[in-house]
A and B are shown apart, each in its own frame.
Chain A
Amino acid sequence: MLATRDVNGAVDYLKKRTLASLRGDIARLIYVASTRDYNTGVYYHDGVASCFTQEIANRALAQCHEESFRDIVEAPLEAMVEKLEEYMKANCSESFLSTWLDIEPYRVLAPLACDPLATKLFCSNFKIALSILASRAKNRLRD
């Protein structure tokens, strides 16, 4: 049985040492989601696992993932566009919008434990936010 105190300690460790250095909610969500093994759904983080245990690291990362995801799902669409724009600027690439619109990598960002309705809203908002940014980029080119 894992102690909640240990998991909370690992969450604090993650937030202060790793997530704080990432710019923006989307960057944090993508980072945490990328620590998950897509075949097993288990999260891995060597730093946290060495300070605590692998099981605690898994639980802490899952908790951070759910928190980040919930923050984004509960935000209005306008805030989502701002967050995505911030991420896009920090990871600037000309093909960013077309790649994300075509491959739809945001579909793997939802945590396993979240409900399907929230996942649907998240993916829908992501798609619309990308379309808004693409439309703005097109208008800028035209001007």
Chain B
Amino acid sequence: MIQIALSLLLAVLLLGLMLHWALQADIPSKDLSAAWDTLGCLRTRFFPASLVDRILDDSDFLFVNSQKDRQILVLLEAERKAIVMYWLRNTRRQVKLLMIFHVKSARHYAKLAPRLEMRLASDYVSFLVVCDLLRILVRMRGPFRARKFARRTVAAGSRFCAASEQILMITKDPHAEIQEAPRNA
């Protein structure tokens, strides 16, 4: 009897908690503005393809190689590797922050199309996979041989940002029409 009462109490508590989450419709404006800030930061600071291309530019490797000083070549590879790792670490952190925001808040607020949510989830997972592969590639083969893959990482991150922006726009205006942006945008 006591077991049944305890189970019922637990069930009521869980139900109450779920209701509380479901009714928590308003997202604190500071969270929303932080999400926009994170998105802006990702776009301007972490996904400028030209800067990533510059970091892994072959011409730098060829130039240092022509200096015929092994120590400087080792220094160049170590420096570039450190920069790529820094970039990956920070980009991943920012993308994760944005994803946490979407999981915690956005889904309670807007009537999102499942297709859009699926797209965000798949873009997030593919970004994480590409990030990990790039990290392994840089460690195993050096930064200059990972240039093409770094571009793929930028592209995957940009796709995630585009999906995220669409959701944030809807979060800003819950009555906005959901329009699927072209995948190649």
Contact = CB atoms under 8 A, between A and B. Distances in A.
Given A115-B45, A116-B45, A73 B54 contact: yes
Contact of A74 (B54, B67, B83, B86): B54
Interface residues of B, number: 25
Interface string B49-69: 011001101011001100101
Interface in A89-120: 115-118, 120
6 contacts: A76-B60, A116-B45, A117-B46, A117-B55, A117-B87, A131-B71
Given A76-B63, A78-B63, A115-B44, A128 B51 contact: no
Secondary structure class of chain A's binding surface, majority of residues: helix
Interface residues of A, number: 19
A127 interface: yes
A132 B64 contact: yes
Contact of B72 (A115, A117, A131): A131
Q: Which 5 A-B pairs have the closest CB atoms?
A: A77-B60, A115-B45, A124-B79, A78-B63, A135-B69
Contacts of B67: 132, 135-136
A121 interface: yes
A77 B86 contact: no
Nearest to A115: B45
A117 B44 contact: no
B99 interface: no
A77 to B, nearest CB: 4
Contacts of A73: 54
A117 B91 CA distance: 11
B45 A128 contact: no
B83 A77 contact: no
A116 B87 CA distance: 9
Interface of B: 44-46, 50-51, 54-55, 57, 59-60, 63-64, 67, 69, 71-72, 75-76, 79-80, 82-83, 86-87, 90
B59 A76 contact: yes
Contact of A120 (B57, B71, B72, B83): B83
Contact of B83 (A78, A115, A117, A135): A117
A127 B79 CA distance: 9
Contact of A121 (B46, B54, B59, B69): B54
Interface string A50-78: 00000000000000000000000110111
A121 B83 CA distance: 7
Given A74-B54, A77-B60, A115-B45, A128 B72 contact: yes
Contacts of B71: 131, 135
B54 to A, nearest CB: 6
